[in-house]
A = this chain, B = another copy of it.
C-alpha cells in the first residue's frame, strides 16, 4: 500500500479517484480549497481512516510542501477547469493551471517525490488539423487560455522529468461525464430545462462534434497508466473511440428528462470564442496498455442526468 497525494480532491474527478484509491487500500492525502470542489464529495472518504484532508490553495507552495510529506506519487487534478470564460478573467488559468502546477512540482522536489499524474486536456490541441487527433500530431496553436495554461503545465512537468529525473503520466482528457459532474453542457442544459422545460437556448448551431468519457473509465485509465507506463514522459489521450453532435446529447438529455423543449440556437459553428467545433482524440496509445472504455457517450450522458436528478443540491451548493 502506498501514500498518494490527490490535489483537487473534492472535485468531480479528484473525489472519484480518492474513493477508488481508498477502496484499493491506499493512504491518500487530499488537497482542496473548495473553490469549485464540494465538501459533500469527500463524505465517503472522510469515513476512511486512511484519508487525510488538507484544506489549502495550491498557490500556497509552503502548505503543499507540508502536505506532500511521505507521499510516493502525486495525482495533480486541481485546476480551473472552465474553458469557456477564460477571457473574463485572463489571469485565472495562468494561476490555477500553470503556476499551481509549478508549485506542485516544487513541493514534490522538496519531498523527493518523483512521480506525477497530471490532468491535461484535449483543448491543448486547439483546432487540431488532424482528427482523430494523436498525441504527437502537429505542434498546435493555442486557442483558449485554458488550453494554453494546461499545455504550459505539461511543459513544466516534462522539463522537470528531464531536469530532475521525474516520471510523469500526462492525460489529455475529452470532457468527462458521470457521477459528481458539476459543470459543463449537461449541467447547464439540465439547469435550464429545470427552470423552463419548454425551451432550451443552445450556443452555436448544435452541430459541434464533441467527445466524452465516463468518469470511472477515466479513473481506470489513469490508474492503469500510472502502473504500466515506462517512459520518462508518458502522454495519453483519454476519450471514447467516437464523438457525438451537441444535438445528439440534447436528445439524450431530453429523453432522460421526458421533456420536448423548443431548441433556440444562437447560431454559428462555435458555442463561444475559442470553442473547438470538432473534438475527437486518437486513443490508440492508452488502448495499447490494455484499457478500453466500458461506457459510450450516450450512457455517460444518461448517467450524468441520473446523478443530477438524484443530487439537485449540486445546483445550489458551492464550497
Interface residues of A (CB under 8 A from B): 86-87, 90-91, 94, 98-99, 102, 105-106, 109, 125-126, 135-145, 147-149, 151-152, 154-156, 158-160, 162-164, 233, 235, 273-274
Contact = CB atoms under 8 A, between A and B. Distances in A.
Q: Taking the full assembly, how many copies of this chain does it contain?
A: 2
B163 A141 contact: no
Contacts of A91: 102, 106
A98 B125 CA distance: 19
Given A94-B102, A138-B137, A139-B135, A158 B148 contact: yes
A152 B148 contact: yes
B99 A94 contact: yes
A247 B181 CA distance: 58
Nearest to A235: B141
A130 to B, nearest CB: 10
A81 to B, nearest CB: 16
Nearest to A135: B139
Contact of A142 (B147, B149, B159): B159
Contacts of A159: 86, 142-145, 147-148, 274
Among A147, A154, A158, A233, max chain B CB count under 10 A is at A158
A45 B286 CA distance: 56
Nearest to A128: B139
Contact of A141 (B99, B105, B109, B233): B233
Contact of A162 (B137, B151, B233, B274): B274
A233 B140 CA distance: 11
A164 B143 CA distance: 11
A274 B148 CA distance: 23
A172 to B, nearest CB: 10
A139 B133 CA distance: 11
Contact of A163 (B86, B102, B136, B138): B86
A242 B7 CA distance: 46
Contacts of A156: 94, 142, 145, 148, 152
Contacts of A152: 98, 148, 151-152, 155-156
A105 to B, nearest CB: 8
B141 A138 contact: no
Contacts of A273: 162-163
Nearest to A127: B162
A33 B56 CA distance: 35
A50 B229 CA distance: 58
Given A94-B99, A94-B102, A155-B151, A163 B139 contact: no
Nearest to A144: B159
Among A125, A141, A152, max chain B CB count under 10 A is at A141
A99 B155 CA distance: 14
Among A102, A139, A147, max chain B CB count under 10 A is at A139
Among A106, A126, A159, max chain B CB count under 10 A is at A159
